[in-house]
Amino acid sequence: MSTLLGARRAAVVTVTLTAGALLSVSSLAAPAQAAAAPSIGGKGGFVLNNATGATVYGKAADTRRQMASTTKIMTAAVVLTTKGVDLNRKVTVKKAYRDYVAKQGASTADLRTGDKVTVRQLVYGTMLPSGCDAAYALADTFGTGSTTAARTKSFIAKMNAKATSLKLKNTKFDSFDGISQSGKNYTTPRDLAKIAQYAMKNANFRAVVKATSYKSTAPTSTGGKRTYTWYNTNKLLGSYKGAIGIKTGTGTAAGPCLVFAATRGSKTLVGVVLNGADRYKDAAKLLDYGFGSSTAKTMKLRTLPADAQRD
C-alpha cells in the first residue's frame, strides 16, 4: 500500500488392558504439528491448510485490524472472478489515477496518462508493485455508475458483497487499495487467510502473485510504445523454498502486513501476519511449523532493485 500514514500437542494415549499391559497409540499425533507453536512478533497471525481449510496456527485470529494493501487481494479477486472477464480488454489510463497516488503519497505502478493497458496488466500492476493507481483503474473499470466516484463506490460494494458471500463477519472494505479514509477498512487474520484461500482458487490470480517480476508493453496516447517493468514487493518469493505468493501491505495504522502461501509436496499453506515488524521471519517460522521444517533460520531475503516499489 502506501507508505502513507495510512498443536496439536503430540498426545500419547495409554490404554490399560485386562492383562495389565499398556498399549501406546502415539501414532495419533500429527508429526508436522508435534513441535510447540512458534512465537511471532506480529500482533495477529493465522495459517490454514489450503486444501481443507483446517487451522494450523492462530494468534489473535479474530481480532479486527486494518490490513493496508493486502486489501488488493480482494480487489484482484473481484476482477478475476467477474463473469466473462476479458483480461485483454484495454483500459485508458486517466490523469485522475496518477493524481490520486501523488496526493496520497501511495505506492504506484507509475501508469502514464493516456496509455492503453490491459486488465491483465492492471492486475499485475496492482499486485506486484502494489500500485494504487492500477487498483484505482480496476475499480473505475469494473464498478458501475456515471461518475468515477460512483463506480469506485460500486466496486467497493462488490468487495463487501464477496466478503459476505464468504461468510466473513469481521471484514469490511471502505477502500479498493487499503488507503482508508474512515479507518473502516478492516479484517482479521482468519478472515484474510480465507480471502486469500478463495483468491488462490483462480489460476490467473495464482500466476500473478507468484511472479517476482513482470514486464510488458502498452501503446501510448501518441502512438508509441511504453515498457512497464514491475517487481513483486513480496520478498518471501525466491527466499523461502516453495513460496508462491501472495501480497504485502504497509500503513501507519496497519503496520507491516503480509499474506503468504507456500507449497511443499502435496501440501499448500496460506497464512497471514498483521502488524508485524519482522513479517517475513514470522511467515517463515509459521510455514516451517506447518511443514515440520526448519529452513527459516537460514533464509536470506530476496533483494529488490533500487527502483522497485516498497510496501
Q: Among 2, 69, 180, 239, which one carries the catalytic annotation?
A: 69
Strands 255-264 and 267-274: antiparallel
Between CA 7 and CA 240 the distance in angstroms is 23
Residue 130 annotated to the active site:
yes
Cis ω before 246 (30° cut-off from 0): yes
72 classed as catalytic: yes
CB atoms within 10 A of CB 243: 25
CA dihedral 285, 41, 173, 117 (to 10 degrees): -60
H/E element, 267? strand 267-274
Catalytic residue, candidates 2, 59, 72, 281: 72
Q: List the beta bridge partners of residue 229.
A: 215
Q: Which of 2, 107, 130, 180 is catalytic?
A: 130
Identity at 230, one-letter amino acid code: W
Grid coordinates representing 126 are: 496492482
Spatial CA neighbour of 138 closest among 190, 176, 109:
176
State the CB neighbour count (10 A cutoff) for residue 123: 27
Burial of 149 (0-12, 13-18, 19+ CB in 10 A): exposed
C-alpha separations of 164 from 35, 137, 173, 180, 275 in Å:
35, 24, 11, 20, 24
C-alpha closest to that of 6 among 172, 181, 252, 249: 252
One-letter amino acid identity for 98?
R
Decide if 271 contacts 283 (C-beta within 8 A): yes
Q: Which residues are catalytic?
A: 69, 72, 130
